[in-house]
């Protein structure tokens, strides 16, 4: 599809939480413009302002709507869809789901198969469009540190909600997977928009992580429940030192280097990062530590 051309697709709405999309009905949907493409989906803006994410890896024909035991989903496995089928709107942590549907015609230019699943969501605003802090090292001043810790707090609250309400652990804490649900500087309006890499919580479950990915620790026997605190701290480092300083997969030496700088600035902040980056803490305990730090600041 030409990225700037609008066009319409024929769909079947399978599940709906929004009057505009009638459940179990056929419906023509008008796509206005291309927004972005991730590893699992292609995202477009609709003519009514909503957003559609068409999955590359889930169609009605694929027997894949079941979670495997792997940490990372298989190629035709779609945990996001599994999650959204059980998800309920009406909380302040996760984006509202408007509808789930299937494409019922062939669109050669669209590059997706017939019977591909999609979801419809409200339009959200990227984190860095609201806060213009891309590559601004916030470690330099007290308000920057305060802001960073508050962003980490927000991500932890969202993780806690997902872990307690749905018993899922999220493994992709990049800031572009969290967006503002409206034009707002209030971090309470920051919501989670992407569920591609989630894993059902299993108590004391350990994983060998060898794959290179900058949000994940590398090692054997890593406790699943301690991964969010680690990944959220990597986001904290991104804010403190600038995204460009973290483009490589953070290795132990780089992390030790950042910890040394943090220690020279603020001993309590060091304690926080030392716990999480050494995989010693789960979401709930890390949130308590962060709250105590904010209170003291």
Residues that bind ligand ADP (CB under 6 A): 35-36, 38-41, 43, 51, 53, 121, 123-124, 126, 176-177, 179, 193-194, 196
Provide, rounded to whole angstroms, the least separation between the CB of residue 228 and Mg ion.
16
The smaller minimum CB distance to ligand ADP, of residues 45 and 245, is found at: 45
The entry of Mg ion, ligand ADP, none that residue 35 binds, CB within 5 to 8 Å by partner kind: ligand ADP
Distances (CA, A) of 24 to 48, 64, 96, 101, 269: 20, 22, 19, 9, 52
Provide, rounded to whole angstroms, the least separation between the CB of residue 51 and ligand ADP.
4
Closest-by-Cβ residue to ligand ADP is 38
Provide, rounded to whole angstroms, the least separation between the CB of residue 275 and ligand ADP.
28
The smaller minimum CB distance to Mg ion, of residues 38 and 137, is found at: 38
Kindly tell me the burial class for residue 112, based on how many C-beta atoms sit within 10 Å of its own C-beta (0-12, 13-18, 19 or more): buried
- Quote the tokens at residue 102: 């299937």
The entry of Mg ion, ligand ADP, none that residue 13 binds, CB within 5 to 8 Å by partner kind: none
* Residues at the contact surface with Mg ion, assessed by CB under 5 A: 38, 177, 194
Cα–Cα distance, 59 to 82 (Å, whole number): 13
The entry of ligand ADP, Mg ion, none that residue 52 binds, CB within 5 to 8 Å by partner kind: none
- Quote the tokens at residue 96: 């509202």
The smaller minimum CB distance to ligand ADP, of residues 58 and 289, is found at: 58
Cα–Cα distance, 181 to 234 (Å, whole number): 23
The entry of Mg ion, ligand ADP, none that residue 41 binds, CB within 5 to 8 Å by partner kind: ligand ADP
The smaller minimum CB distance to ligand ADP, of residues 40 and 293, is found at: 40
The smaller minimum CB distance to ligand ADP, of residues 192 and 281, is found at: 192
Kindly tell me the burial class for residue 201, based on how many C-beta atoms sit within 10 Å of its own C-beta (0-12, 13-18, 19 or more): middle
Cα–Cα distance, 30 to 165 (Å, whole number): 34
Cα–Cα distance, 89 to 87 (Å, whole number): 7
């Amino acid at each position: 599809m030409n990225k700037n051309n609008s066009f319409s697709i024929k769909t079947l709405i399978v599940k709906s939480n929004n009057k505009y999309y009638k459940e179990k009905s056929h419906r023509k949907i008008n796509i206005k413009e291309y927004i972005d493409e991730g590893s699992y989906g292609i995202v477009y803006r609709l003519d009514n302002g909503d957003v559609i994410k068409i999955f590359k890896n889930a169609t009605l024909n694929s027997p894949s709507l079941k979670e495997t035991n792997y940490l990372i989903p298989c190629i035709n496995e779609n945990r996001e869809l599994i999650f959204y089928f059980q998800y309920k709107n009406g909380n302040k942590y996760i984006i509202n789901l408007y509808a789930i549907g299937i494409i019922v015609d062939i669109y050669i230019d669209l590059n997706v198969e017939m019977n591909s699943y999609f979801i419809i969501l409200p339009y959200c605003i990227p984190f860095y469009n609201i806060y213009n802090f891309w590559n601004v090292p916030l470690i330099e001043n007290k308000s920057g540190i305060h802001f960073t810790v508050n962003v980490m707090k927000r991500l932890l609250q969202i993780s806690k909600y997902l872990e307690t309400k749905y018993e899922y652990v999220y493994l992709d804490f990049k800031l572009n997977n969290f967006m503002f649900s409206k034009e707002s500087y209030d971090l309470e309006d920051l919501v989670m928009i992407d569920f591609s890499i989630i894993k059902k919580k299993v108590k004391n479950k350990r994983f060998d992580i060898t794959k290179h990915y900058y949000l994940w620790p590398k090692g054997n026997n890593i406790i699943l429940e301690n991964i969010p605190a680690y990944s959220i701290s990597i986001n904290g480092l991104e804010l403190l030192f600038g995204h460009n300083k973290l483009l490589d997969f953070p290795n132990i030496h780089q992390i030790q280097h950042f910890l040394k700088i943090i220690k020279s600035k603020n001993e309590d902040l060091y304690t926080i990062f030392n716990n999480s980056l050494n995989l010693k803490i789960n979401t709930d305990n890390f949130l308590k530590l962060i709250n105590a730090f904010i209170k003291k600041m």
